[in-house]
Amino acid sequence: MLSRLARPLALAALALPLVPHDVFAQDCAYGAYSTATGDAVALTRPAKDAGPGARYTFLDGRRGFLSDADAPLRCDAGRLRSRDGATWTPVPVRATPTHFRSGDVVLNGMLLEPAGAAPVPLVVTVHGSEKTSPIGLATPYLFVSQGIAVFAYDKRGTAGSQGVYTQDFITLADDAANAGREARRMAGRRVARFGFLGGSQGGWVAPLAALKTDADFLEVGFGVVGTAAEQDQWQVDYQLLREHGHDPAILPQVHALTDATAAVARSDFRAGMDKVDALKAQFAREPWLKDVDGQYSGGLLGGEVERMRAESPHVTWTYAGLDVIRGLRVPQLWVFAEDDDVAPSAPSIERLATIRREGTPIRSIVFPNTTHGILRIARNPDGTRRDLNVYAPGYFQLLTDFAKGATRAGYGDARWLDAP
């Protein structure tokens, strides 16, 4: 049963003056920058141990660090410049921090808005299972550079938010819905249309939050249309067949094993390991057994039950969200990575096609040569993948166009999976 939503309470919302940025990267400010030709880039603080100096992310997907020898940008006396000397202009941003209540906890959020009084689209970001804060990341800055307001918030039990970290999709959807209400309260009449953007695990959370708040649109990137238990099985299949080249004839045996590991997961990793151990012994001579991984199957085979439980607190293993997706009568955009080895795309694409034929307004698109996060990959001569560490060209522009309510035919080499 869904928990009853508490009315959000704004606590200590503070409107900052209209300034481009609030923290500094070496001698250049973090935030969004643009050129007269419409190019945009976000300059952000790198994640811990990710790299030295500031990270840059272009609207076209390129990214790296200003300290890289071949970086296309540099800081020069507090100004961001291209290598040819062209200056990038800071994009003025209205940044308003807030604290708001969701149930019995208080969450930390930040509203970023473009300068000006004209109503603009508002997007609430719902990120994945990671515990890092989404506040200050590249995506919100890139959206603002395109005239879109963004509300980002720390998940419960992480960064500046109270509570205990959880992967309970229902609780997280309550939090996201309350974040949406807070964002709309703060932006007021400056909102033209309002929606959610969910990435990865956020693909389970954002649709339910959109349904709870009567959102105008929904965007999901590299999510799963199915249960978390199914995701593990799909991931194991993808890795065994695509990455390791095993024969599909092994799948009945593999699925007997993933059925057993799924039962352990559904018990909160507290029961059923006797069946897993028995199957592990039964298949001990099978060459594929050593290659089993997935979200939790590989860990259980390795005896890491406690680690699996600690990394997946209160996952709603049986929640697929299919009825929620069907129930949304607002435009939905689902973006898939064709070579996603975390959330394999093919089963989700098939299910969305069925739901779309039933009348739900869904657009689906797939980016080839990408993996989880819509990050580019290449294949080595032996077939193994090589991460290129850049986003697919067209990905960010697709998200911002959909938030504005108008998409076009082409986004890089992505393929629409339905008629416009």
pLDDT in tens, 365-374: 999 999 999 9
Q: Under 8 Å CB-to-CB from 225, ≥6 apart: which residues?
A: 203, 320, 321, 322, 325, 334, 347, 348, 351, 352
Q: Answer whether 79's CB lies under 8 Å from 405's CB.
A: no
For residue 197, name the pLDDT band (cuts at 50, 70, 90). very high
Rounded average pLDDT over 206-211? 98
Number of H helices, E strands in the chain: 11, 22
Percent of the chain with pLDDT over 70: 92
Q: How confident is the model at residue 21 (pLDDT cuts 50, 70, 90)?
A: very low
Query: Is the model's pLDDT at 113 over the cut of 60?
Result: yes
Half-sphere exposure of 19 (CA within 13 A, CB side): 11
Q: How confident is the model at residue 5 (pLDDT cuts 50, 70, 90)?
A: very low
Q: What is the pLDDT, as a whole number, of residue 3?
A: 33
Q: Residue 50: what pLDDT?
A: 60
Task: For tokens 């719902």, name the residue.
Answer: 126
Burial environment of residue 157 by CB neighbours within 10 A (0 to 12, 13 to 18, 19 or more)? middle
Least confident of 39-53, 116-130, 228-242: 39-53
Structure tokens given for 265? 């997961």
As a whole number of angstroms, the distance between CA 138 and CA 82 comes to 19
Q: Considering only CA atoms, which of 60, 40, 35 is closest in space to residue 396? A: 60
Report pLDDT for 46: 81
pLDDT confidence of 36, banded at 50, 70, 90?
confident
| Residue 227 scores a pLDDT above 80 | yes
Rounded to whole angstroms, what are the CA distances from 272 to 285, 290, 300?
22, 20, 11
User: What per-residue confidence (pLDDT) applies to 76?
Assistant: 86
Torsion sign, CA atoms 310, 316, 320, 322: negative
pLDDT of residue 90: 96
- pLDDT for 9 beyond 50: no
What pLDDT does residue 37 have? 86
Q: What is the pLDDT of residue 258?
A: 98
End-to-end CA distance of the chain: 37
- Residue pair 87/80 in contact (Cβ under 8 Å)? The answer is yes
* C-alpha span between 235 and 251 (Å, rounded): 12
pLDDT computed for residue 116 by the predictor: 86
Confidence at 78, pLDDT banded by 50, 70, 90: confident
d(CA 60, CA 83) in angstroms, rounded, equals: 18
19 pLDDT more than 50: no
Tell me the pLDDT tens digit for each residue of 285-317: 999 999 999 999 999 999 999 999 999 999 999
Question: For residue 251, what pLDDT is reported?
Answer: 98
Mean pLDDT of the chain: 91
Is the pLDDT score of 268 beyond 90? yes
How far apart are alpha carbons 198 and 361 in whole angstroms?
17
Tokens of residue 29, six digits: 């400010």
State how far the Cα of 389 lies from the Cα of 247, in Å rounded to an integer. 30
